[in-house]
Amino acid sequence: MPELPEVETVRRDLEDALVGHRLGEVEVTGARTVRRLGDPGPLVERSRGRLVEGVGRRGKYLLVRLDGPDVVVVHLGMSGQLRLVAEGTPALPHTHVRWLLEGGGELRFVDPRTFGEVWVARPATPGGLPTELAHLGPDALEDLGDHRALGRILAARRRRIKPTLLDQRVIAGIGNIYADEILWTARIAPHRAAGALSAAELRRLQAAVRDTLLEAIAHRGSSIADEQYRDLAGAVGTYQLRHRVYGRESQPCARCGRPVRRTAEAGRSTFSCPRCQR
């Protein structure tokens, strides 16, 4: 599933390509993609002919802000892609939404597994979040603050740190890949209690969240074996070539040389170093 670095890469691409441009005709062929709305009518009627004023993000959700009060919300799910192509380019299989762009080009939402969503929302305040996203915690890149703020978020939480990082209600944007990479960088074992970290461990964790996410964005995200994450132009990311533990079971730890171990946390495959991470 695309996580914060992949979604932020797409957000930056969209911002460069769409801001100041007007959406033209809209075609929706995937009923499941617009399941939150019940039918494609609201998305078509409220995005057609509208000017794109900005592209934001909260966690793993993209927010395409239109002139007026409406926002197009996109969640890529497990296999969703946004692709910008020349008008008339043959559609990829599983293309569920198409926006023509005035002046040429098409923005397409492609989603083979159909876990992604697209809908149009009206935030209560200008620039605010749609109510459907009110459950999200602070954004892992933009809103986390320093180690003291992170400590307040994690305080008194008895859950293990790995599933806590995965809980979008606690911190928005981190998924399975980056939770493992962050914990390895911070030298914290995934089974540790989230609320029992020391001040020194919180400093390392806060720095690891920031540094890991920024490094992944710089390498345009991770495209793992299925390569279903692609950017707006259809290119894969390269951060998977720099993973220290994720997907590296039995390979030597990049820090100490001990074989990376694969376990399960909250039903998710978890990769860690049994020597480095305590």
Q: Active-site residues: which are they? A: 2-3, 60, 268
Contacts with 96 (C-beta within 8 Å, 6 or more apart), sequence order:
28, 29, 30, 32, 33, 109, 110, 111, 114, 118
User: Would you give the distance in Å from CA 193 to the centre of its chain?
Assistant: 25
What CA–CA distance (Å, rounded) separates 54 from 71? Answer: 10
Contact predicate 182/165, CB 8 Å: yes
Contacts with 65 (C-beta within 8 Å, 6 or more apart), sequence order:
52, 53, 54, 55, 56, 71, 127
Burial category of 125 from C-beta neighbours within 10 Å (exposed 0-12, middle 13-18, buried 19 and up): exposed
Contact predicate 163/103, CB 8 Å: no
Name the token pair of 101.
């762009």
Name the residue with tokens 């198409």: 98
Name the token pair of 19.
């801001």
